[in-house]
Structure 1
Amino acid sequence: MKLAFAAATVLMFAVPAAGQQVFVVRHAERADAATGAPPMMTTDPDLSDPGKARAESLATALKDARITAIYTTEFKRTRQTAAPLAKALGIEPTVVPAKDFPGLMEKVKAASGNILVVGHSNTVGDVIAKLGAT
């Protein structure tokens, strides 16, 4: 498995057996973080303006990556991070509950094409580890 850094802090993994690429990102900046509110005081904040700009940058960076599936959690910040790319590609993101890590990994491993996973700071590392990277 190969790990590479790309624009917009995208982590890419090549899964050799399938020739598949898995792009893993943490959601863009939350609006409550921009206001200085303590983390998670708002249970489901939108993206901040810089976060929305980063989501657009992600779409630009990955528009030619031949992504066929996008996975997010139920939280607005992951869905809003994925939205510009999903719209550009005509893909409806699959929402997997944040607490259903095994379900997410089943979907990732069952996917046949290149995929994007938009997660959280406490899940991105787990996805990377489960894909076999250290």
Structure 2
Amino acid sequence: MKKWIPFLTIVIFLAACTSKVSTVFVVRHAEKDLVYKGDDHFRPLSASGYQRAGKLAKRLANEKITKIYATEYLRVQQTGDSLRINNQIDTTIYSARNAHFLDKVEPRKNILIIGHSNTVPEIVRLLGANFDLKIIPESEYDNLYVVKIKDKKLVEFKAEKY
């Protein structure tokens, strides 16, 4: 029987590696600068937004995130910048008009997706969660949606504040 222990350990390890649960963190961008008068694509974060982005980076610092997905809007990218810089994570830009970029997301990885009040609910639903909200209220910037997936199937969904 002792001869089988190393073999069984390897088999269990390989099975765990191939069926790993990935965690997708989905957030709306932090508070935007309401004074800015230029093109909305280039609207930056406000001072409060930068503080919130720092809180997000602290909350996710130990989550082993390997990739950040952000839309082409500056405030969305700035929301993930602290985490990106501190943890040396690549950011991929996706179109705010197309949530179907999820088809290209690497399985078995922990990722952060940053979107908008009207795109985050759709992204959460596309990940398999039962999520009735159509749009995030304009005053809410502190919602963090945690979606756990295994083999492209929902394992767990929870909403929290950060």
1:12 maps to which residue?
A: none
Read off the aligned partner of 2:92 and give its amino acid letter: T
Give yes or no for the alignment of 1:107 onto 2:109: no
2:112 maps to which residue?
A: 116
Deviations 1:94-127 (A, max 9, x none): 011112221x21133x343100000000110001
Greater radius of gyration (CA) = 2
Unaligned stretches of 5+ residues in structure 2: 1-18, 131-162
1:95 maps to which residue?
A: 93
Q: What is the TM-score with the length of structure 1 in the denominator?
A: 0.76
2:55 maps to which residue?
A: 57
Deviations 1:43-91 (A, max 9, x none): 1210000000000110000000000110000100110000000001101
Read off the aligned partner of 2:117 and give its amino acid letter: S
Read off the aligned partner of 1:28 and give its amino acid letter: A
Q: What is the alpha-carbon distance in structure 1 between the residues aligned to residue 33 and residue 44 of structure 2?
A: 6
TM alignment of 1:39-54, pairs within 5 A: 42-44=39-41, 45-54=43-52
1:22 maps to which residue?
A: 24
> Structure 1 residue runs of 4+, over 3 Å off?
none
Read off the aligned partner of 1:90 and give its amino acid letter: Q
Unaligned stretches of 5+ residues in structure 1: 1-16
Read off the aligned partner of 2:94 and give its amino acid letter: V
What is the aligned-residue identity percentage? 39
Q: What is the alpha-carbon distance in structure 2 between the residues aligned to residue 77 and residue 112 of structure 1?
A: 28
Read off the aligned partner of 2:30 and give its amino acid letter: A
Q: What is the TM-score with the length of structure 2 in the denominator?
A: 0.64
Residues 66 and 90 of structure 2 are in contact (CA less than 8 Å); yes or no, is this contact kept in structure 1? no
Between Structure 1 and Structure 2, how many residues are aligned? Answer: 111
Among candidates 64, 67, 75, match of residue 66 of structure 1: 64
Read off the aligned partner of 1:117 and give its amino acid letter: I
